[in-house]
């Protein structure tokens, strides 16, 4: 299990508000932790970088650079309109199932600070029979911030203000943590924890961890495409979440067998470098780190799809953490999986030398 100080850092990350394009608070928390042991930078699109394993003096062109990437943004909502009664109407930031939003409390980044709202919907008592059978659409929902007029609401909230579901971080039995921001604040957490371990026991490579921006809306590569290109990395290891399949109504024949507490999930497939996959698997087996394998015949729908094509191409691997109830206010992961993922990344980085070649043979 991660040490108590590491879990406290994780909680700070999960509590910060940071939907895609508005990651500032979460990114600041990540950089503050990184600055305790690494050299830190930030770029124009909101990526945060932490460097370790660098040699003093002039840059060594023969020293390999490894990229560790986890996106720090979360899904959310954005205000699109405020009506005459002071109700706010919203659009999604990222992919939502509107059913999970009904009746939720929201936290918006308002004009002069946080603004709390509740997601409203017509009560079931007032619905016609056919309406009761229909799933809610986001356009059927509104946000009530307690205002009585548009003028009052606009003193606190503006069109374009982002928000997230207001849910506290919970620690469940059996070393599990629950949060709205698991996807993928835990990826940013894992890569920094891996970098911390590598810094304490470095290998031959220079390693950079990136808390990348805008992945949840990244149809054109989000923040990681320019971020990865800037590092000149020869290998990239992306950390994200994948679907846990140890709860009811999930078909393992379609999605694999990935339980909470069973360790990180290594993706093998079309986007993934076979050299990097084999390196990850050998490292996990040699260190006795529990893990499972996931097949991806097409794109992975993670930052790995864009790391692979950054600059002149980067040999890419994907390490995922099993996550229950993805894109809901109560995503759930195992702390032991986070710990094992960080350890696997640190050990894999140490296995890379100046002689490592990533071209398939």
Looking up residue 119, the CATH number of its domain turns out to be: 2.40.30.40
Tens-digit pLDDT profile for residues 98-115:
999 999 999 999 989 999
pLDDT exceeding 70 applies to what percent of the chain?
A: 98
Q: How many angstroms separate the CA atoms of 309 and 226, rounded?
A: 11
What is the total count of domains within the chain?
Answer: 2
- Split at pLDDT 50, 70, 90, the class of 216 is very high
CATH of the domain at 199: 3.40.630.10
Tens-digit pLDDT profile for residues 291-327:
999 999 999 999 999 999 999 999 999 999 999 999 9
Contact 260, 251 (CB under 8 A): no
Closest residue by Cα to residue 165 from 228, 83, 256, 93: 93
Residues 296 and 331 grouped into a single domain:
yes
> For the residues 219-232, what does the mean pLDDT come to?
92
Residues 138 and 119 grouped into a single domain:
yes
pLDDT surpassing 80 at residue 131? no
Contact 335, 1 (CB under 8 A): yes
**35 domain-assigned:** yes
Residues 120 and 95 grouped into a single domain:
yes
**342 domain-assigned:** yes
> For the residues 69-73, what does the mean pLDDT come to?
97
pLDDT exceeding 90 applies to what percent of the chain?
A: 84
Decide which of 140, 165, 190 is a domain's last residue: 165
- Split at pLDDT 50, 70, 90, the class of 153 is very high
Most confident of 52-66, 126-140, 182-196: 182-196
**219 domain-assigned:** yes
Catalytic choice (215, 216, 331, 343):
215
Tens-digit pLDDT profile for residues 332-342:
999 999 999 99
**56 domain-assigned:** yes
Residues 24 and 90 grouped into a single domain:
no
> For the residues 81-88, what does the mean pLDDT come to?
98
Residues 32 and 82 grouped into a single domain:
no
- Split at pLDDT 50, 70, 90, the class of 57 is low
Residues 266 and 347 grouped into a single domain:
yes
pLDDT value of position 59: 60
**172 domain-assigned:** no
Residues 86 and 69 grouped into a single domain:
no
Residues 115 and 255 grouped into a single domain:
no
Decide which of 165, 198, 231 is a domain's last residue: 165
Q: Phi/psi at 74 (nearest 5 deg)?
A: -130, 165
Residues 58 and 97 grouped into a single domain:
no
> For the residues 150-169, what does the mean pLDDT come to?
97
**191 domain-assigned:** yes
CA distances from 133 to 126, 140, 249, 321 (A): 13, 14, 21, 35
| Tokens, residue 163 | 């928000």
Closest residue by Cα to residue 210 from 52, 348, 339, 83: 52
Residues 67 and 130 grouped into a single domain:
no
Residues 100 and 231 grouped into a single domain:
no
| Tokens, residue 171 | 């620690």
> For the residues 13-17, what does the mean pLDDT come to?
96
Average confidence score pLDDT of the chain? 94
Decide which of 138, 165, 192 is a domain's last residue: 165
Question: Strand 331-334 and strand 176-179: pairing?
Answer: antiparallel
**What residues make up the domain containing 324?**
4-74+180-351
Residue 43 vs residue 251, higher pLDDT: 43
215 has catalytic annotation: yes
**357 domain-assigned:** no
pLDDT value of position 326: 94
**17 domain-assigned:** yes
Residues 87 and 140 grouped into a single domain:
yes
């Amino acid at each position: 299990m991660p040490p108590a100080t590491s879990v406290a850092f994780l909680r700070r990350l999960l509590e910060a508000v940071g939907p895609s394009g508005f990651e500032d608070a979460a990114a600041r928390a990540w950089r503050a932790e990184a600055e305790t042991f690494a050299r830190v930078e930030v770029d124009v699109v909101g990526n945060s970088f932490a460097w370790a394993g660098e040699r003093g003096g002039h840059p060594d062109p023969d020293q390999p650079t490894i990229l560790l990437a986890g996106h720090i943004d979360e899904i959310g909502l954005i205000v699109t309109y405020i009506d005459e009664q002071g109700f706010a109407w919203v659009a999604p930031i990222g992919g939502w199932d509107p059913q999970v939003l009904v009746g939720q409390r929201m936290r918006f980044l308002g004009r002069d600070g946080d603004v709390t709202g509740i997601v409203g919907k017509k009560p079931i008592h007032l619905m016609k029979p056919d309406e009761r059978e229909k799933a809610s659409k986001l356009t059927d929902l509104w946000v009530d911030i307690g205002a009585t007029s548009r003028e009052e609401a606009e003193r606190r909230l503006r069109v374009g203000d982002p928000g997230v579901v207001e849910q506290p971080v919970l620690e469940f039995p059996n070393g599990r943590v629950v949060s709205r921001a698991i996807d993928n604040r835990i990826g940013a957490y894992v890569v920094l924890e891996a970098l911390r371990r590598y810094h304490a026991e470095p290998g031959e490579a220079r390693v950079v961890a990136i808390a990348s921006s805008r992945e949840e809306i990244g149809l054109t590569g989000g923040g990681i495409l320019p971020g990865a290109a800037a590092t000149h990395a020869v290998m990239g290891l992306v950390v994200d979440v994948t679907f846990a399949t140890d709860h009811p109504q999930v078909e393992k024949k379609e999605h694999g067998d990935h339980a909470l507490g069973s360790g990180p999930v290594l993706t093998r497939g079309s986007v993934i470098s076979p050299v990097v996959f084999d390196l990850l698997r050998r490292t996990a087996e040699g260190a006795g780190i529990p893990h499972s394998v996931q097949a991806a015949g097409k794109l992975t729908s993670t930052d790995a799809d864009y790391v692979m094509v950054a600059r002149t191409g980067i040999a890419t691997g994907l390490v995922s953490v099993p996550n229950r109830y993805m894109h809901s206010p109560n995503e759930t992961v195992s702390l032991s999986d986070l710990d094992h993922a960080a350890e696997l990344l640190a050990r894999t980085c140490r296995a890379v030398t100046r002689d490592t070649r990533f071209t398939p043979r």
